[in-house]
Amino acid sequence: MSLRKLDVVVVGAGFSGLYLLHKLRSSGFSVAVIEKADQLGGTWHWNRYPGARCDIPSLQYSYQFDEDLQQDWNWSEKYSAQPEILEYLNHVTDRFDLRKDIEFNTEVISARFNEEKSLWEIKTSQGELETKFCVMATGCLSAPNTPDFKGLDDYEGQFLHTGKWPQTQVDFTGESVAIIGTGSSSIQSIPVIAEQAKHLYVFQRTANYSIPSNNGPMDPAEETEVKSRYPEFRKENWENGFGIAGMAIEEMAVEDDEQGRKEKFNHHWENEGLGFLGAYADLMLDKEANEMAASFARDKVKEIVKDTEVAELLSPKFTIGCKRLCVDSGYFEAFNRDNVTLIDLNTNPIDCITSKGLMAGQEEYLVDSLILATGFDAMTGALTRIDIRGRKGISLKDQWKDGAKSYLGLGISNFPNLFTVTGPGSPSVLSNMVPSLELHVEWISQCIEWMRDNNKKVIESTKAVEEEWMTLVNEVADLTVYKSCNSWYNGSNIDEKAKEFLPFIGVPPYTEKITEVAEQNYQGFVFDKTN
């Protein structure tokens, strides 16, 4: 088979990869998207567990690059469920005729930069490719974390992970089910599984905050209003810290009185979902303000959950928002059911998985299905799990051993002509992902175009600029309460991972910075380095 030569290889056919393909192809580049799965969708393909849903309203969690598309598409609910998002992505793919340039069932095994030719050599499960540029559109939450529980291989029942859920319908009717973990994925799936299963055992290590979604059918008046001024609506959202509507406020919780705070928190609890953290401007900046919101949320748990012991176990103890906040549809209510049991792993640690279930705190729980809702090797895992080698054969995994360094979350020193979409050091997971990835896709495409027009062959970041950038990322985080607990934002969910805070907090200054870098001919990047 002859070696295929391309201008750009894009890895991953999720939201980012699809838009990259459209954008780069429209600029005249030859592009192939390589996708491991047998269909597109990325995170929305893999995470099809019961109850999977976007917790950012879909009028915001959708592409804005094409005005006709955003006008034509109608979402049926405020927060869309996974099947509808997948349907949307399929619609976009067909609308822009993308499918023909996506290679499904193809896994990237390795990517090596050939310094003599200034080309990337990509080895996939289906063959080899040679490309001038490689763009990793591999997602921030796409490398599932499977903890090394003793005896896991011995389990003989149905074994599932929320992050790689099977495409076939899973029916828990009449089954005993165990779920380990209480992050967003678990919090979304528990109410649905509890309705089907004979009994559901929930194994919790850390209680989590969750705000009710109050999801419902799309309000036609709201949809009409947003669509009547969609570009302005998008722009307004982008001007606040997280790029999400409802989070641009100036009032401080510590300056309000008790009654005022109660009313405000109540309003946000009932209406805003993730925007609960936008009730006041100081919630993520000041521990005292944060504790006001946290204690309100804990009181709500105690109001909802009837058994006081269970309510206490479900009441989080840490700073609200420093682990990713969850949004649910009946999560705490599920613990009022007779067929749901909460097991606290702090007093009953998992000893091992057995052939028929799991042993925790000297008791064996016999279950037909065992679900791991144990999250992801976030932000870096999808990259370090591929054998990526840059200059002098250096591996990305080794280079990031003591911490992931990247310039703006876009480029990595020693890895020329390799771009990451929503990489470490960009707002990514602390923003509305779709506009964030659109920003990166446009930046990367324009950069590649600029290089073509200006006769540049190779672009790379330097150690100095990425050190400086990641220092700033951490200095900004130090001004907030984000570092005050263990979370996947700082790598503490993966034992062997460097403990460092990876997302840049603040959409507007970040957008300004990368725009300025581009305007100044990609300031901070080096072109056509001669060693």
Name the residues that contact ligand N01, by CB under 6 A: 53-55, 141, 147, 162-163, 180-186, 188, 205-206, 324, 345, 373-376, 429, 488, 493
- Minimum distance of ligand N01 from residue 405's CB (angstroms): 23
Nearer residue to ligand N01 within complex by CB, 81 or 293: 81
What distance in Å separates the CA atoms of residue 147 and residue 183, rounded to the nearest whole number? 15
- Minimum distance of ligand N01 from residue 336's CB (angstroms): 21
Which candidate, 505, 488, 506, places its Cα nearest to that of 497?
Answer: 488
DSSP helix/strand/coil, 218: coil
Backbone angles phi, psi at 273, to 5 degrees: 60, -125
Residue type (1 letter), 473: V
- Minimum distance of ligand N01 from residue 272's CB (angstroms): 15
Nearer residue to ligand N01 within complex by CB, 142 or 290: 142
Nearer residue to ligand N01 within complex by CB, 461 or 487: 487
What distance in Å separates the CA atoms of residue 54 and residue 79, rounded to the nearest whole number? 6
DSSP helix/strand/coil, 43: helix
Residue matched to tokens 């993520």: 284
Nearer residue to ligand N01 within complex by CB, 152 or 472: 152
- Other Cβ atoms within 10 Å of 170 Cβ, number: 17
Nearer residue to ligand N01 within complex by CB, 162 or 384: 162
- Minimum distance of ligand N01 from residue 376's CB (angstroms): 6
Nearer residue to ligand N01 within complex by CB, 488 or 522: 488
H or E segment to which residue 160 belongs: strand 158-161
Residue matched to tokens 């976009």: 92
DSSP helix/strand/coil, 223: helix
- Minimum distance of ligand N01 from residue 331's CB (angstroms): 12
- Minimum distance of ligand N01 from residue 523's CB (angstroms): 32
- Minimum distance of ligand N01 from residue 324's CB (angstroms): 3
Nearer residue to ligand N01 within complex by CB, 136 or 140: 140
Nearer residue to ligand N01 within complex by CB, 288 or 495: 495
Nearer residue to ligand N01 within complex by CB, 399 or 493: 493
Residue nearest to ligand N01 according to CB distances in the complex: 183
CA 130 to each of CA 13, 37, 98, 370, 420: distance values in angstroms, whole numbers, following the listed order: 19, 21, 21, 42, 18
Nearer residue to ligand N01 within complex by CB, 68 or 495: 495
Please, are residues 81 and 87 in contact by the beta-carbon 8 Å criterion? no
CA 239 to each of CA 447, 469, 510: distance values in angstroms, whole numbers, following the listed order: 24, 22, 11
Q: Are strands 363-366 and 369-372 parallel, antiparallel or unpaired?
A: unpaired
Please, are residues 121 and 112 in contact by the beta-carbon 8 Å criterion? yes
- Minimum distance of ligand N01 from residue 28's CB (angstroms): 34
DSSP one-letter code for 423:
-
Sign of the CA dihedral 57, 61, 62, 67? positive
H or E segment to which residue 264 belongs: helix 258-271
- Minimum distance of ligand N01 from residue 8's CB (angstroms): 28
- Minimum distance of ligand N01 from residue 411's CB (angstroms): 24
What distance in Å separates the CA atoms of residue 355 and residue 378, rounded to the nearest whole number? 30
H or E segment to which residue 396 belongs: helix 396-399
